[in-house]
């Protein structure tokens, strides 16, 4: 029986009755490109043991190599974003209609076809999110039968589902469970959001931040801070000659217009004001008063350092994205010791050029050489050693695999890139101990599995780096 997967009417009409839905599922499961069991796995599955970790971003309680904050494991944040923030596809698709992100009658044919396609597979997999659904091998295969336009529309709907938000109480409670070691600004932001979620539990973060009384409060606070800095600049400018004093006052006037008269939807206000000052005064940087003015203008509050600025910027963002930004600043990320995008001198993307930095420190470093970066963050010298000691402990205890020569090689990379400012001691590394402990863990794992499966008549064997089970 030919499976007409590429037409909207097929999905939409056939899903209406239990009997035809059952027939469709049977047809899909017996299609040549899907395993007869209906699963995406082979007949004997790989049992990857949880006794080993092969990515330093997933080491528990690893401190940031710069600020020293305990970082959230990368996989934990990904899992949170995929399962806690995002609704299962079957619910998300319904909410797209309820919240008017998707209007079926006004949508194009490819969009309707894509929606019906996703709805069909969501009903077969009611616990999976759209991301997880589109990652399934069986769904990938059937997606190939869609028109190119409908397949592209699947991506549009995937993006739409990220806009469907949980209420503030749910998100606040779930984030709390992660116990993130927030930075100062993020800690204050989350405290504010927690307080607001108690007052407006049924609203999401975006809806709360756009309430007139809430929005005006943070906007008033932000504009006062901006105005205070501009007043300081005007006062300092009194020490300049008449011509330059007028120039500074004209820049201040432009800044006030941008901050107080432009509509909220216009972005990058702070950046534009700073650029205006820098571009206009670039040839006068050697003048002490001008240098002081330029330093002041750089201190204008932004969403990375100021709670009020974060809240105003957050009012223009989706609720899920607000939570994602908070968590991404605490997650363990790979930071290139030798910058990956440095003109004529790109650093490689491999573990011997990576250290673990939280998202916030990583974004701040950019392409700055560590010899310069350490001057601004002298605590990094000590914190990077603390991080390496922790990594060495995980290696020696046979938990972290694939990193045996990492401490030695990263020490050389840090020493070169920091021009000797960051010195790493790796004397505690014991490769013999690491190999011995890995072997013990491996043996303990196999024995525990044998004991666990003794009554099931299952044989466990090793193949390559994986462990497999097969009935005797």
Single residue among 161, 177, 204 that ends a domain in this structure = 161
In a domain, 400, yes or no: yes
Q: What is the pLDDT of residues 194-230, one digit of tens each?
A: 999 999 999 999 999 999 999 999 999 999 999 999 9
Residues 380 and 463 in one domain: yes
Q: State whether 250 and 308 are in the same domain.
A: yes
Q: Looking at the structure, do residues 296 and 205 belong to the same domain, yes or no?
A: yes
- Run of H or E residues at 233: helix 212-237
Same domain (yes/no): 403, 262: no
What's the rounded Cα separation, in Å, for the pair 194 and 188? 10
Handedness of CA 321, 326, 331, 337 (dihedral sign): positive
Backbone angles phi, psi at 46, to 5 degrees: -70, 130
Q: Does one domain contain both 454 and 431?
A: yes
User: CA-CA distance, 210 to 219, in Å (whole number)?
Assistant: 11
Q: Are residues 418 and 291 in the same domain?
A: no
> Tens digit of pLDDT per residue, the chain (472 long)?
333 333 434 444 444 443 433 333 333 333 322 233 233 322 223 444 578 999 999 999 999 999 999 999 999 999 998 888 888 999 999 999 988 889 988 999 999 999 999 999 999 999 999 989 999 999 999 999 999 999 999 999 999 988 888 999 999 999 999 999 999 999 999 999 999 999 999 999 999 999 999 999 999 999 999 999 999 999 999 989 999 999 999 999 999 999 999 988 888 999 999 999 999 999 998 899 999 999 999 999 999 999 999 999 999 998 999 999 999 999 999 999 988 776 666 778 899 999 999 999 999 988 788 999 999 999 999 999 999 999 999 999 999 999 999 999 999 999 999 999 999 999 999 999 999 999 999 888 888 877 777 655 555 555 555 655 655 5
333 located within any domain: no
End-to-end CA distance of the chain: 37
Q: What's the alpha-carbon Rg for the chain, to the nearest Å?
A: 28
> For the chain, how many structural domains are there in total?
3
CB 467 within 8 A of CB 49: yes
The reply to whether 329 falls in a domain is no
Q: What's the domain range around 20?
A: 8-43+87-161
129 contacts: CB under 8 Å, gap ≥ 6: 82, 83, 86, 87, 88, 89, 92, 161
Do residue 65 and residue 156 come from a single domain?
A: no
Q: Of 83, 90, 111, which Cα lies nearest the Cα of 15?
A: 90
What b/e string do you get for 187-224 counting C-beta neighbours within 10 Å, with b at 16 or more?
eebbebbeebbeebeebbbbbbbeeeebbeebbebbee
H-assigned helices in 261-405: 269-281, 288-298, 307-314, 319-328, 359-365, 370-376, 379-396
Of 173, 225, 218, 210, nearest in space to 194 by CA: 173
- Token match 């003109």: residue? 343
Is residue 421 assigned to a domain? Answer: yes
> What would the two tokens of residue 370 be?
């560590």
Flag whether 325 is in a domain.
Answer: no
Inside any domain, residue 330: no
For residues 208 and 255, state if they share a domain. yes
Question: Of 161, 193, 220, which residue constitutes the final position of a domain?
Answer: 161
pLDDT digits (tens, 9 = 90+) for 113-161: 999 999 999 999 999 999 899 999 999 999 999 999 999 999 999 999 8
The answer to whether residue 336 sits within a structural domain is: no
Domain match, 198 and 293 both: yes
pTM for the full model? Answer: 0.79
Other beta carbons less than 10 A from residue 167's beta carbon: 17
Question: What's 20-53 look like in SS3?
Answer: HHHHHHHHHHCCCCCCCCCCCCCCCCECCCCCCE
Rounded CA separation 372/319 (Å): 36
Is 62 in the same domain as 98?
A: no
Last residue in a domain, options 126, 161, 196: 161
Same-domain check for residues 62 and 91: no
Statement to judge: residues 146 and 273 lie in one domain: no
Q: Is 261 part of a structural domain of the chain?
A: yes
């Amino acid at each position: 029986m030919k499976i007409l997967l590429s037409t909207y009417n097929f999905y939409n009409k056939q899903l209406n009755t239990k009997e035809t839905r059952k027939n469709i599922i049977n047809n899909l499961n017996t299609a040549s490109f899907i395993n007869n069991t209906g699963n995406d796995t082979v007949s004997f599955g790989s049992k990857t043991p949880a006794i080993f970790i092969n990515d330093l971003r997933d080491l528990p309680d690893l401190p940031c190599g710069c600020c020293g904050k305990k970082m959230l494991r990368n996989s934990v944040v990904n899992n949170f974003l995929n399962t806690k923030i995002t609704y299962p596809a079957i619910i998300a698709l319904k909410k797209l209609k309820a919240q008017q992100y998707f209007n079926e009658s006004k949508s194009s044919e490819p969009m309707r076809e894509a929606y019906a396609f996703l709805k069909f597979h969501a009903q077969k997999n009611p616990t999976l999110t759209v991301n997880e659904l589109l990652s399934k091998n069986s769904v990938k295969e059937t997606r190939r039968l869609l028109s190119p336009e409908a397949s592209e529309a699947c991506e549009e709907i995937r993006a739409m589902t990220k806009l469907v938000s949980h209420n503030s109480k749910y998100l606040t409670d779930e984030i709390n469970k992660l116990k993130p070691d927030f930075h100062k600004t993020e800690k204050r932001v989350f405290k504010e959001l927690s307080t607001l979620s108690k007052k407006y539990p049924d609203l999401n973060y975006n809806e709360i931040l756009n309430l007139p009384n809430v929005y005006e409060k943070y906007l008033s606070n932000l504009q006062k801070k901006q105005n205070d800095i501009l007043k300081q600049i005007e006062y300092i400018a009194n020490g300049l000659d008449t011509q330059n004093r007028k120039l500074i006052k004209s820049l201040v006037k432009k800044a006030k217009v941008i901050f107080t008269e432009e509509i909220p939807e216009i972005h990058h206000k702070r950046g534009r004001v700073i650029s205006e000052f820098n571009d206009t005064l670039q040839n006068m940087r050697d003048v002490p008063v001008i240098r002081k003015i330029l330093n002041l203008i750089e201190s204008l509050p932004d969403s990375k350092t100021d709670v009020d600025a974060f809240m105003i910027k957050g009012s223009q963002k989706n609720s899920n994205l607000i939570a994602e930004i908070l968590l991404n600043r605490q997650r363990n990320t790979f930071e290139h010791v030798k910058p990956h995008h440095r003109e004529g001198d790109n650093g490689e993307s491999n573990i011997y050029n990576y250290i673990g930095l939280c998202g916030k420190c990583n974004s701040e470093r950019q392409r700055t050489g560590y010899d310069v970066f350490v001057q601004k963050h002298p605590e990094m010298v000590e914190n990077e050693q603390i991080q390496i000691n922790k990594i060495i402990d995980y290696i020696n205890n046979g938990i972290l695999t694939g990193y045996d020569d990492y401490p030695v090689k990263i020490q050389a990379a840090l020493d070169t890139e920091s021009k000797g400012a960051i010195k790493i001691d790796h004397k505690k590394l014991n490769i013999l101990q690491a190999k011995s402990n890995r072997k013990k863990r491996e043996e303990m794992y196999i024995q525990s599995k044998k004991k666990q499966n003794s009554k099931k008549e299952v044989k466990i064997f090793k193949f390559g780096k994986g462990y497999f089970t097969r009935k005797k």
